[in-house]
Structures are given as C-alpha cells and as structure tokens.
Structure 1
C-alpha cells in the first residue's frame, strides 16, 4: 500500500510532495512541486482502500484510462489534466493546482449567496458539464466541494472526476458511490437509467445549497416519503421563478427533471437564448451593453453602463445623478446590468462583486477613508497614494477583480469620496433590492 509523504521525491525528483490535500471514496490527492516548471500541481492516485482490493490492477487500469480521456478535455471551467506517471506500481494523475476555496467553504464562510452570484457560478459549471456530456461522460459528483473558485479571478472550476463514467443513455450498471444530498435516486441503484439529467439533479442541488446554505434531503429519504423543503423556505428573497426552477431540477424521478443541462439553463434564464428579453419594463434596452461585454469591449461597456444608469434615473441631460437618484434606482434594471457584467466577465466584474470585496474588508455605509482607500488599492482604483484617472483604468479582462464597472471620466481632489458616495449608494440599493 503506497502513501506518499511530504518532501518525498517522485519520478526521479521531477515532483516533490508538499502535503496530502484530501481524499474521497476513490482517490487521494497531494499538493506537489513540479521542479521542471517550478510550479505547484495536484497529483491524484487511488486511495488506500482501493489499493487493498483484489482487483486493484483492474481499478488502476480504469483510473488510467479515465485520466487519459480527461487529459484530452480542454475547457476554461474544467481542471486541467497534464499527464500521468507510474511510481513503484502506483499510477498518478498530474493536474493543475487551483489556488482558492471550494464553493462549500465559500458559502460556509460567507453565508447564502445572492441569486445573481450563485447563478454566475452555476452558469460556468453548466458550460463545463455541457462539454463533458458532449465527450460522452457523466460527472456524477457535482457538489459545492467539487467546485473551486480561483482566488484571483473568481472563476468556477469543476474538479474531481473520480466518479466520471462513460454513458450510452441506456440502462447500465455503475458503482453506487455518491454524495448524500446531491446524488439523484438513480445513483442509489446498482442498475439504473443514467443520462444528462443525472448531472442536472446534482447541479440543481448545488444551486439549492448555494442560495440556502442547506444540503438538500437525500433522494433515498425523499423516496420514502420525506418532503424536500423548497429553497424559498430557507431564503425568502429567492424569486418564485428561481424557486420553481430549482425544485424542478431536483425532481425525484428523472423524467420530471430537465433532460439536459441546456434545458436547465434555459429554465434558469442563463442560457444565451434566454437573453432575448433585454429590455426592462421601463423600456430601457440593454442589447448594446450585452454586445459590448460579449465582445470584450470593456471601455465601451463601462460608458454604456453609465449611460444606461442615467437613462433609468432620467438624468441624461444633466450627465450625473445624485445619491437620492441611486437610492430609488429600479431593481429590475440594476439586476440586468449586474448580471450582464457578471456573465461576460466570468464573475470578475460587477457591482455585487465590488460590494462583496468592500464589505469583506470592513466597509459599510459610513465613510472610512482608510478602508475605502484599501479597497480601492485592491481593485486598482487607487495606486501609490493617488487616485487613478479614468484614462488609466484597465479596460481588460486581466484587470484586478472588481475593477469594473467604474463610470465617471475624471477623479479630482474629492474624487475618492465622490466615488465612494456613488458606489456605496449602489451597494445600499443592491441590499434593498435583495440582489
């Protein structure tokens, strides 16, 4: 039985084990230094239990084949598999090291997420699952703890394909390994009908957990008659539409769920086709803003955002709006603007991202110059003791997280306070709108 220890060298010194990161029903993961590239990686092997089984070699063969198959996958929201190697009879899968917490830890530390932020992550993972399904795989273990958030970009990354299997859409036999609360009823059966709807259940259960901080009642308990509380019972701020979409996504019987990730996306309103209605009830059309964001034209998008906000408040002629205008800003329009920024920046930019960072640094509705400057330093609005002018804002996806939207063309002596006044008003409106 092989268990690697810190400072142990593998593959003739190519890898140096740093620590054990964790394990599950099948695998054990290590953080390691790849000395050839001077960067951290993750190495995964079959765990001690698997190593004691009589058919260990067959299990290793299956592990190796799946590793090779995953190594061919390339998607921005799927962890990268670099290579495999054999050390004293034990195969290891070398993967990228993602610096950041998983969504389970993130929710535990921050509480239930807003619908806007939760849907931003769910959209990214649903794109990953669409890709996996096109390759003929099911992930079969989607859950908050298997979704990492890159610390620098806040992008969601799907990890741990230990239960991933090929599927044909027909009745078949699969291992009964699962995660209680996120596994659908068909995963409790040795032989069952598996399909994309299997991962849809887990994706919907993950969304349930993100917005409620509660793990859904396991499917086998529900099968015996225990009712699943709708997410609105734990979080009354959830809209009726979102509540209904989640409930349908975690329907007990497969035929009652959305049959594909695409169908679930459309139910949630996060698929591109669902963006057809980009005009608010006030008549403001956000198609141009969407087009700028979709094409990565961040400066034009920033200016369009300011123009749209002036239009909503009826202050286009004046070219500016007062705090009381922001305090009465329409919730529907604020949500559309924020969701578009979140969607096309993959969670890097947006008012709700700015609000989360500001509050995490101790910011509140009372002006504190030190906190405000520290926040502005972090997101790139304040540098070396000076406020960054609009011409020096970084209109690129590589800009610091929460750098955009910025708005405003100049920053003078009172610019720092004026920026705080406006943005704090937006933060307050986000709270009152329950976004």
Structure 2
C-alpha cells in the first residue's frame, strides 16, 4: 500500500532529527576532549623552545647595539656606547677597562689577571669589540688588534715579537737618537695607528704622579687568545 509523501515525511523527520542530535552530541564531546589536550600540549612545550622565543624577543634589532653583559644584563655598556659615539677615545678606553674589571670583580685592583682573561665572558668581549669597531669605523677594537697580533706571529712575550706588535699599533717607539726603544703613553686621537685602541689602561692622579693600571704588555697575548676563542 503506497504512502503519501506527507506521511513519509512525518515518519522520517524524527529519524533525521535524532541523527542530527547524535552528531551534535558527538562533536561537543570531541571539542571537550580536544581543548584540554591543546592546553596540555602548550604546558608541556619544551622549556628550551620557550627560552628561544624569549631570547628572540630580547635580541636587539639589526641597527641597534647590543649593550648587554652576561653578568649584569642589558644596557651595561650604554655609557661606553655613548662615549664611543662621541669619539671620546680617552674616556672610552678608561670606561672599557673599568667595565671589564667590574665584570671579573677586579674593580678595586684595577687590572685583570691571566685567569680573569681566560674566563672573561665571550658575550661581553664580543659586545665591547663590536662597539669599538663600529664607532671607530673599523680602526680600533680587540678583533682589529688580534689580526695585527697574528700578523706579527702571535707573540706571547717580549722575546717573541711583542715589541714588533707594539711598534705596529703605536704603543712603542724608538728612543732619543735611536738608542733603544720604549713603551709610550697611548694616543687618544683619531689619527692614531690602526689597532692603537683600546689599551685597557686607567689613570689615577695627575701628571707624573699618576698611577697607570691595566693589562701588562705580556698579558695581551692571553687576551688575543681569548678573542680568538670567542671567534671575534
């Protein structure tokens, strides 16, 4: 016996409605299950990935100077940057020496020991060097001095071409009438020889009574070795 379309519709409608309701219920359960899983995945995200994102956010823009210190954090070298930008080479040299001594807790002594140099943070050494190189237009900086030191045979002391390095960077000159030679006070002029600065010296007092402290000449070989290790 044939049924009219109206009767068929009345019979099928509850079935369709029931299927739709079941589908909606299943989808709701699925969403409830997926939401906690997404939250767990976020919570279980490796700490290294979160750290990498944080470091990326804190990285300076390409046209900005990195002024950070491994020990003292951001903007530790802001004053050095300002002095170099003003081409105040003398104040920049002293600021470099003082900042480096402070990093190694040697600010009272005013000079770095070999063990301090060998453990000096690469981040700090790199940022100091980049500031010097940038604001001297490639004339001054540890990496510039390292290249000259290597060209002199990588001397490790007075008897190993260290005097040759001193002549090259302008730290040494012939004495009066050509009799011997001596180490001289640094020049803080832009016309100073390539690699002349920084000298890492600090002066206390005035004139002949001033006390000059910093790296001993023989210790520069250790510094340049550290510069090489830090890939400057």
Query: Is it true that 1:431 corresponds to 2:228 in the alignment?
Result: yes
Match of 1:144 in 2: none
Indicate the residue corresponding to 2:159 in structure 1: 369
Counterpart for residue 350 of structure 1? 141
Shift of 1:343: 0.2
Aligned equivalent of 2:219:
422
1:407 to 200, 206, 215: 200
1:313-392 mapped onto 2 (5 Å cutoff) = 313-364=104-155, 366-369=156-159, 371-384=161-174, 385-389=181-185
In 1, Cα distance between equivalents of 2:192 and 2:126: 23
Whole-angstrom CA distance in 2 between matches of 1:386 and 1:346: 29
* 1:37-84 deviation digits (Å, cap 9, x = unpaired): xxxxxxxxxxxxxxxxxxxxxxxxxxxxxxxxxxxxxxxxxxxxxxxx
Q: Is the 8 A contact 1:323 1:421 kept in 2?
A: no
- Structure 1 residue runs of 4+, over 4 Å off? 267-270
Return the offset for 1:278.
Answer: 1.6
1:312 to 90, 103, 116: 103
Does structure 1 residue 279 correspond to structure 2 residue 75? no
Aligned residues: 157
2:47 maps to which residue?
none
C-alpha contact 2:157 2:221 (8 A) present in aligned 1? no
The reply to whether residue 397 of structure 1 matches residue 190 of structure 2 is yes
**Deviation of the 1:363 alpha carbon:** 2.2
Shift of 1:268: 9.2
Q: CA deviation at 1:269?
A: 4.9
Return closer, same or farther for 1:269/1:427 CA change in 2, 3 Å cut-off: farther
Counterpart of 1:175 in structure 2 is none
| Aligned-pair Cα RMSD in Å | 2.4
Summarize the Cα distance change of 1:312–1:369 in structure 2 as closer, same or farther, 3 Å threshold: same
1:268 and 1:316 mapped to 2: Cα distance?
28
Deviation, structure 1 residue 395: 0.5
CA distance in structure 2 between the partners assigned to 1:347 and 1:341 by the alignment:
8
- Output the TM-score relative to the length of structure 2: 0.62
Bigger CA radius of gyration: 2
CA shift for structure 1 position 406: 0.5
Structure 1 residues 367 and 382: alpha-carbon distance in aligned structure 2, compared to 1, 3 A threshold: same
Match of 1:290 in 2: 81
Task: Tell whether the 8 Å contact from 2:154 to 2:221 is kept in structure 1 after alignment.
Answer: no
Distance 1:427 1:368 in 2: 15
Cα contact 1:292–1:298 (8 A) shared by 2 = yes
**Aligned partners of 1:327, 1:298: CA distance in 2, in Å?**
26
Quote the residue 1:300 is aligned against: 91
The CA deviation string for residues 77-108 of structure 1, in whole angstroms up to 9 with x for no partner, is xxxxxxxxxxxxxxxxxxxxxxxxxxxxxxxx
Query: Aligned partners of 1:380 and 1:286: how far apart in 2?
Result: 26
Say which structure, 1 or 2, has more relative contact order (CA 8 Å, 6+ apart).
2
Whose strand fraction is larger, Structure 1's or Structure 2's? 1
8 A Cα contact 1:289 1:304, kept in partner:
yes
